[in-house]
């Protein structure tokens, strides 16, 4: 280190009162370098490769070391997930769990970096976008007509309460009523509930319906991309669910097999939107081949001809919107997205509905994009939504101030 640094450090410590800021920075750097050196020594790739080749690599011990490092480096929200890894004794399951948590930690860092660097430009963008819209509204008094219809339709959709999110706070403080009770005495709607339903409805928007809300015209292309991503995730999860029902935990307990099957299926689904039947025919053949080959490699009995035909038939049925498997998965992903708006993405990922755990990474990306879009839109147009909802909801339920941000 240069002499100038030490002179500066000495000067700070001699001050009255002493300034420890430079010393603290030095200690922080020493700590980081020491931790980096320790990790590099423990995870020396050349040494680990030699150990693996000799059959002497202790995967469980190595995994435990990695989880201890993760405990030091992860955000507090990941503490519970890392602690849960300590109870896993199976090496394969432990490694799979480590990779899943590491993926979440990577996203945490990316989100933090983006948010810490862009607070002021984002606020400026919100104010600028709202001011431009207000200028147009002053010249076109009917500019919010479609937005009003959009929110009205969402309120009508909620006349019978939809499935609630796990652990979601119940605005009424009472248990969810039965369908008959809901029909006779529907639960009071909150502005947040209506707005959440309205945003979800955008992912099911009929392309022929020209009454798209004016406040979301700039986001329409992004919403169409999210709708396409949602559809691909639904089909992917449906394929994995059907495949797992024919191969069980033997194959789907292997992270390598699942990752390979996901990767190849996603590549084949690129043509799904334009040619769903042809795409699913190719997928069914590929999935069947993957399962047969993997069972053979493990010395296990192959699927019977009847099971193979049933597997391929169920996979090809996914091309149809009315497919039972696809409908169930679609409903569960929409429930997940609803929970993301209420609870946040990370908390919603902790309790995924059945059939969605294998696409956790895809759902995390989809959920975060959806939440970011809706949050920004509401920051810009929240005052307009508040005024519209005051006219749609009874006085006791209407928002007295601006709608709380989703």
Whether residue 383 is contained in a domain is answered as yes
Domain check: are 103 and 227 in the same one?
A: no
Q: Say what the pLDDT of residue 208 is.
A: 85
C-alpha span between 307 and 287 (Å, rounded) = 13
What's the number of domains the chain is made of?
A: 2
Q: Which of 167, 215, 222 is nearest to 195 (CA)?
A: 215
Task: Tell me what pLDDT residue 11 has.
Answer: 58
For the chain, list residues with pLDDT below 50.
1, 9, 13, 20, 23, 26, 30-31, 163, 166-185
Q: What does DSSP assign to residue 174?
A: S
Q: Which class for 323: exposed (0-12), middle (13-18), buried (19 or more C-beta within 10 A)?
A: buried
- Does a structural domain hold residue 213? no
> pLDDT at position 135, please?
92
DSSP 204-223: G--TT-----GGGGGGHHHH
Domain with 321 in it:
219-392
| Cα–Cα distance, 316 to 268 (Å, whole number) | 13
- Could you give the CA distance from residue 403 to residue 387 in angstroms, rounded to a whole number? 9
Residue 365 lies in a domain: yes
For residue 187, which phi and psi values (nearest 5 degrees)? -65, 140
Q: Is residue 200 part of a domain?
A: no
Query: How far is residue 193's CA from residue 214's CA, in Å, rounded to a whole number?
Result: 20
The pLDDT assigned to 45 comes to 62
Q: Identify the domain boundary among 58, 91, 111.
A: 111
Cα atoms in the Cβ-side hemisphere of radius 13 Å centred on 346 = 15
* pLDDT of 33: 54
Is residue 72 in some structural domain? yes
Q: Is residue 212 part of a domain?
A: no
Check whether residue 245 and residue 388 sit in a common domain: yes
pTM: 0.65
Is the same domain home to 94 and 231?
A: no
How many Cα atoms occupy the beta-carbon half-sphere of 283 within 13 Å? 33
Domain boundary (58, 89, 111) is at: 111
Cα–Cα distances in angstroms (integers) from residue 241 to residues 80, 131, 296, in the given order: 27, 48, 21
104 and 225 inside one domain: no
| Tokens, residue 122 | 């984002």
> What is the rounded distance in angstroms from the CA atom of residue 294 to the CA atom of residue 306?
19
Which of 111, 134, 153 delimits the end of a domain?
A: 111
Q: Is residue 23 part of a domain?
A: yes
pLDDT of residue 180: 40
pLDDT of residue 61: 73
Residue 89 lies in a domain: yes
Residues 248 and 379 in one domain: yes
């Amino acid at each position: 280190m240069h002499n100038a640094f030490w002179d500066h450090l000495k000067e700070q410590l001699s001050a009255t009162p002493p300034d420890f800021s430079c010393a603290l920075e030095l200690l922080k750097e020493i700590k980081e370098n020491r931790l980096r050196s320790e990790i590099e020594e423990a995870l020396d790739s050349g040494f680990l490769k030699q150990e693996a080749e000799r059959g002497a690599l202790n995967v469980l011990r190595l995994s435990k070391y990695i989880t201890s490092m993760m405990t030091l480096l992860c955000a507090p929200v990941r503490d519970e997930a890392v602690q849960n890894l300590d109870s896993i004794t199976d090496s394969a399951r432990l490694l799979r769990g480590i990779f899943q948590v590491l993926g979440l930690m990577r996203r945490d860092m990316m989100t933090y970096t983006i948010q810490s660097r862009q607070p002021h430009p984002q606020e400026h963008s919100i104010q600028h976008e709202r001011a431009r819209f207000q200028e147009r509204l002053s010249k076109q008094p009917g500019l919010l007509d479609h937005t009003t219809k959009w929110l009205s339709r969402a309120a009508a959709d909620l006349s019978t309460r939809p499935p609630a999110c796990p652990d979601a706070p119940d605005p009424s403080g009472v248990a969810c009523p039965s369908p008959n009770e809901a029909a006779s005495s529907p639960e009071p709607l909150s502005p947040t509930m209506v707005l959440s339903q309205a945003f979800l409805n955008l992912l099911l928007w009929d392309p022929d319906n020209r009454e798209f809300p004016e406040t979301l015209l700039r986001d329409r292309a992004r919403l169409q991309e999210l709708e396409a991503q949602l559809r691909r995730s639904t089909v992917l999860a449906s394929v994995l669910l059907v495949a797992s029902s024919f191969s069980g935990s033997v194959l789907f307990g292997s992270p390598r097999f699942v990752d390979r099957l996901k990767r190849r299926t996603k590549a084949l689904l690129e043509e799904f939107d334009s040619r769903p039947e042809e795409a699913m025919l190719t997928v069914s053949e590929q999935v069947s081949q993957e399962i047969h080959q993997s069972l053979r490699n493990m010395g296990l009995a192959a699927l019977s001809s009847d099971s193979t035909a049933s597997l391929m038939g169920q996979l090809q049925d996914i091309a149809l919107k009315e497919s039972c498997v696809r409908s169930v998965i679609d409903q569960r992903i929409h429930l997940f997205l609803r929970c993301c708006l209420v609870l946040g993405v990370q908390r919603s990922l902790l309790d995924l509905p059945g059939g969605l755990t294998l696409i956790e990474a895809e759902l995390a990306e989809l959920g975060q994009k959806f939440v970011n879009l809706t949050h920004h839109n509401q920051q810009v147009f929240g005052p307009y939504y508040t005024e519209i909802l005051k006219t749609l909801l009874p006085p006791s339920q209407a928002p007295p101030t601006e709608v709380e941000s989703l």
